[in-house]
Amino acid sequence: MQCIQRQRKRSRSETLVHEAHSKRAIRHNASLLGMEGDPDLKFLLTGGDLLKVRSRSWKKTRFYKLQEDCKTMWHESQKKLRSAKNFTLEDIAAVRAGRQTEGLRKYTDEAVEGRAFSILFKGRRKNLDLIASSEEEAKLWVSSLEKVIGNMNNLNRQQKSEHWIYNCMLKADKNRDNKMSHKELKSFLHHINIEVDDDYAKMLFEKCDQSKCGYLDGKEIEHFYEILTQREEIDVIYAAYAKTNGLMSAQNLLDFLLSEQRETVTLNEAISIIEKCELDESAKEKKLMTKDGFLMYLHKPESMVFNPAHNKVYQDMSQPLNHYFISSSHNTYLMQDQLKGPSSTEAYIRALMKSCRCVELDCWDGSDSEPVIYHGYTLTSKILFKDAIKAIKEYAFKTSEYPVILSLENHCSVEQQKLMAYHMISILGSALVTKPLGDKMPTCFPSPEELKGRFLIKGKRLNKLEAIFSPEAQGEGDESVTEEEESADEEAEDKNEDKPKKSKKLKLAKELSDIVIYCKSVHFHGFEDAQKSLSFYEMSSFKEGKAVKLAEESANDYIRHNVDKLSRIYPAGLRTDSSNYNPVPLWNGGCQIVALNFQTPCSEMDLNQGRFLQNGMSGYILKPAYLRNAESEFDPITLTRGEWLQHKVLHIMVISAQQLPKMNKKKSSIVDPLVRVEIFGVPADVSEKETEHIENNGFNPTWNENFQFDVYVPDLALVRFVVEDHDSTSDNEFIGQYTLPFKSLQNGYRHVPLLNKNGDILPAAGLFIHIMALDAE
């Protein structure tokens, strides 16, 4: 939202009005954030000069200042024809003190370390690298930004909504007189994504203009706000249970929680909810809940569609590592496509901060005898291997304490392989697993619990792991391969050709071989061969096409193979745009390491984010028992009877949406929203249903449409809510989505948050639904 534009010079009286208006706005927004009189907020609102760094030669001073909405950061360009620029604090992913980005390390000297800091944005927007005039000032910028962002993130959806609507009203008040004319009201409605005809706008205006003076002021604006934000669907639900003089008693609330929300709660817990959510002190004293308090309860995180019990690690983490689905990335170093996109240590940080637990490092010989990471034989930029390892070490366990697998794609000479081993051992230290846990040869993987805070290396190994304990097992391991070698063999196999002759077998440095413990890369020669010849720690990588074929044609064999082996799946090389494949059929086949291009926003990444949303977003999900049983008869394709068959009927009523963002930034554009509910899982469960579209209303559209789905294997099912802007002449435009495991759904009346295409929360937007998952009769 652009808040400042170049304006004509104001008169003295206009300046005074403007300043008074700004002060009122700041007081209101600071109050919403719980930061009235806060010195850190005051510092940002005052603003200051910072040196912006883009290259060695491009370093320019810019004035940065937080605007009166307390969420938009503004700076003015020095170019005469360019308008002022801004970004919202909601766009910021992190603020980092010091020279932590590649740009600052490359373009500045160590002398500015204490004065430097960076603002990192969500999505693909470039970092903002800045230098303050002193170390104290840099610390103040970092701590103040983090504090305001933290307070903003702590607002519930209702408070975020109020914040957003209030500041939309400010923007509509063009002459800043704290009044709203009929024209300004129309502008405001457009801005909040709702189109009304002139007659309705006139009727609404006249209803609120009780003083009949031709504009809305004070209490009249408050009345307009109340009409605008009234939610009839909430009124109906509340009225059905507010049986105590028009209010909800604790017993009334308990009745609602038991019959509608299907929650197992007591009267004391209902009283506790009133104490937490009720804003009216008089009602709270009498243990009563008003409609505002009820709405506050419905907006609480624990009342949303996602089961709050799944927000923490709740699964058994003491099973062998291969009994889990593991959140995994392909070409992790890339920020964009794999032909000419930039490589960056930032890409590793972003993946790890999303709880990715298996990252890939494509390693090649670099100049100055230092190995580098990039996509070989392409125009992608290069980063130093040691810099990637440093970034991985620093960020590996910030969002999850469970082990990280470093998947090496090794193309280096023996000398540079030795350096790779040296860097990993020296940088990762005792966190790197360099020998089996315990004092004897293991027979299965250790658990995620045993490997907390540890790194595992996946790559080639010269000999069997048994050689550590038995000198007789020292033979050369010719079966170690890279993914590229495995892929070339598969392509030749598909064309019924002989396997390509390798021009020269890559020699492996003993130092690098010795730190490959639990994840030795080997060829796959069929399930029978793997069962007879491979040890538990010898794992194969499968290109997506072969993996999908196995999951469709030999599903049960694949499942049994993955009971005691690890499988890594990776995208086909033809995906030069770094697009992704559907991971669901591979999870159905028990594959643990289903690697996706994390840098590419798409529905497949939405599914991955949804799959790993549960279990505290630890990056590890325990597979169902029938995917961990060597005698399992489960086949997701034929779906014979067994413990996996738990037929459920899912009833979903899509009731309404709130504050959907505009997709087209044109002032005249208004969203025509529709909602699609999609089920992913075994083939029998795959389904989707769609509402009608609502014309010209992205602010508070209402559908009240009912859908019913049959779900036969709920353990493996994912539910995805998608909101689109309907277009009759071209493809609908994506607005937002939310994906979660079927078994993480909460019954009853629930709000559904919405995420943008990058997987980040849309602050005030959401759906309101009624959901009921029942056993089929």
Known catalytic membership, residue 375:
yes
Compute, in degrees rounded to 10, the torsion defined by CA atoms 571, 577, 583, 589. -20
Cβ–Cβ < 8 Å for 49, 62: yes
E strand or H helix that includes residue 724? strand 718-725
Cβ–Cβ < 8 Å for 320, 444: yes
Q: CA–CA separation, 119 vs 73, rounded Å?
A: 11
> Which pairs from 372-380 meet CB under 8 Å and 24+ separation?
373/333, 373/343, 374/333, 374/343, 375/331, 375/333, 375/334, 375/338, 375/339, 375/343, 376/411, 378/338, 378/339, 378/340, 379/339, 379/340, 380/334, 380/338, 380/339, 380/340, 380/341, 380/342, 380/343
The count of C-alpha atoms lying within 13 angstroms of the C-alpha of 580, restricted to the half-sphere facing its C-beta, is 23
Q: How far is CA 101 from the centre of its chain?
A: 21
Residue 244: helix, strand or coil by DSSP?
strand
Q: How many residues does the chain have?
A: 777
**Which residue in the list 191, 299, 375, 423 is annotated as catalytic?**
375
Cα–Cα separations (whole angstroms), residue 88 to 1, 55, 65, 70: 8, 24, 11, 9
Residue 772: helix, strand or coil by DSSP?
strand
Residue with tokens 């009249």: 220
Q: CA–CA separation, 617 vs 608, rounded Å?
A: 11
Known catalytic membership, residue 330:
yes
Q: CA–CA separation, 681 vs 741, rounded Å?
A: 10
Would you tell me how many other CB atoms lie within 10 Å of the CB of residue 163?
21
Q: Widest CA span of the chain, in angstroms?
A: 98
Burial class of residue 139 (count of CB atoms within 10 Å of its CB; 0-12, 13-18, 19+): middle
Task: Enter the tokens of residue 375.
Answer: 């996509």
Least Cα distance to 467 among 509, 517, 424, 431 occurs for 517
Least Cα distance to 69 among 185, 180, 160, 193 occurs for 160
- Binding-site sequence positions for Ca(2+): 331, 360, 362, 409, 670, 672, 696, 725, 727
Sequence-separated (6 or more) residues with CB below 8 Å from residue 50: 61, 62, 63, 64, 130, 131, 132, 141
- Binding-site sequence positions: 52-79, 331, 360, 362, 409, 458, 460, 541, 568, 670, 672, 696, 725, 727
What amino acid is encoded at 494 in this protein?
A: D
Strand order across the beta sheet in which 72-75 lies? 85-88, 72-75, 59-66, 48-53, 128-131, 116-121, 92-97
Residue with tokens 């009727």: 203
The string of DSSP codes covering 20-88 is HHHHHHHHHHHHHTT-TT-HHHHHHHH-EEEEEESSSS-EEEEEEEE-TTSSEEEE--SSTTSPPEEEE
Q: CA–CA separation, 36 vs 23, rounded Å?
A: 12
Q: CA–CA separation, 267 vs 248, rounded Å?
A: 13
Task: Enter the tokens of residue 90.
Answer: 């909601």
Would you tell me how many other CB atoms lie within 10 Å of the CB of residue 239?
12
**Which residue in the list 191, 299, 310, 330 is annotated as catalytic?**
330
Would you tell me how many other CB atoms lie within 10 Å of the CB of residue 776?
10
- Binding-site sequence positions for substrate: 52-79, 458, 460, 541, 568
Q: CA–CA separation, 531 vs 539, rounded Å?
A: 12
Least Cα distance to 161 among 184, 193, 201 occurs for 193
The count of C-alpha atoms lying within 13 angstroms of the C-alpha of 312, restricted to the half-sphere facing its C-beta, is 4
E strand or H helix that includes residue 146? helix 135-153
Backbone angles phi, psi at 543, to 5 degrees: -65, 150
Residues marked active site are found at 330, 375
